[in-house]
Homo-oligomer: A and B are copies of this chain.
Amino acid sequence: MFSSEARLIGLPLAAIDTPALVIDLEAMEDNIVRMGTYFATRPSKLRPHFKTHKCPILAHKQLAAGAVGVACAKVEEAEVLVAGGVLHNILIANQVVTRTKIFKLMGLNRHAEVMVCVDDSGNVAELAEAAQTFGVEIGVFVEVNVGMNRCGVDTAQAALALVRQVSNSKGLRFVGLQGYEGHDVKIVDLAQRQAAARRDIQRLIETREYIERSGIQVQLVDAGGTGTYNITGEIPGIDEIQAGSYLFGDVSYLGVLEDFRPSLSVLSTVVSRPARDRIITDMGLKAASTDQTLPQPVEVPGVQVRKLAEEHCYLAVDDPANELSVGDRIAFLPGHVCTTVNLHDRYYGVRNGLVEVVWEIAARGKSR
């Protein structure tokens, strides 16, 4: 499959069959440089999140532009990163719980540096035991709930108890704290977003101070995302920002982010034009996610996405002059970039209208 798709390299965009995930390489490279430039002059640094692109070569590009390390969500994602040559400073920004995954994490740490987050005492004990079995020492972040109410301990006292347990566990090395103001990153109004993120991150800063007052050094505090990189990234006491979506953008970030250009689209073909007021394309739920919002057509005025079925996108046509017909193509900005990327096996990278690269989305489907 990949070898045959690689035959498209050098051909025009029109040669790509649909549905297909297409990167505007120039826009993506601009985004990487722009984010790198932002952090170049600040105390906080960028640890880009692998979950957005799931493709090791893009992590290498982010590292080359100044990122200090990589965040990922799952052990299997870390495996793909390591297999793709990212060997240092990987943080699984999540809890690693099952026995199989814990053993995999320890095995990886004999060949690369892969750290992990914790929020549970029993889990810390299991990690420590496995680390000792494998003869490795792994870096550990304690996760703090800053108001998203997902993972993470709720109080500074609970955080300190876990920090002490980690510090006292052979095989584990306490590195720092992680919080994620994920409920704030897509607030469209900038002043409201700033206020919400600063309020929530204060809980993380206070936890840092509480732990440091007990005499334990907190080396790193990680937080933030694409919607708060320049808010949380400017709060003293925050060391690293885990932004991912800035690379590509999506509809859910339209209005939030003006600093980055959308660089990813789902290319689609009209498969039915049964009536003047509707168009059906081949971009269904197997090619674009709808968990946050619907995709939007790029540069097709007078056309609205009504819904997606498994294999079909339903478009309502407001403009009676619209002449799109079977076989014509429409590009869509993804509704939510990370879950859309997870549906595809490869990217087609395009520059000046020509296919330049075909990249495997090597961590597609890596949910463990």
Contacts and interface: CB of A to CB of B under 8 A. Distances in A.
A48 interface: no
Interface string A65-86: 0000000011000000000000
Contacts of A304: none
Interface string A277-288: 010101011110
Contact of A365 (B98, B145, B345): B345
B326 A120 contact: yes
A120 B273 contact: yes
A68 to B, nearest CB: 23
B312 A17 contact: no
Given A151-B280, A286-B339, A312-B151, A97 B326 contact: yes
A152 B368 CA distance: 41
Given A119-B272, A345-B365, 8 more contacts: A122-B326, A123-B327, A151-B274, A152-B274, A154-B274, A282-B367, A282-B368, A310-B338
Interface in A253-271: 269-271
A367 B150 contact: no
7 contacts: A94-B271, A95-B326, A119-B274, A151-B272, A151-B312, A154-B274, A364-B365
Nearest to A290: B291
Interface string A339-360: 1001111000000000000000
Contacts of A101: 17
A325 interface: yes
A364 B344 CA distance: 10
B153 A274 contact: yes
A17 B100 contact: yes
Interface string A135-161: 000000000010001111110000000
Contact of A73 (B17, B150, B311, B314): B311
How many copies the complex holds: the figure is: 2
Interface of A is mostly: loop
Contacts of A123: 326-327
A6 B308 CA distance: 35
Contacts of A19: 367-368
A51 interface: yes
Contacts of A18: 98, 368
A151 to B, nearest CB: 4
A309 interface: yes
A280 B17 contact: no
Nearest to A17: B100
A122 B327 contact: yes
A109 interface: no
A259 to B, nearest CB: 23
Interface in A291-306: 291
Given A310-B51, A311-B74, A342-B286, A272 B365 contact: no
A365 B339 contact: no
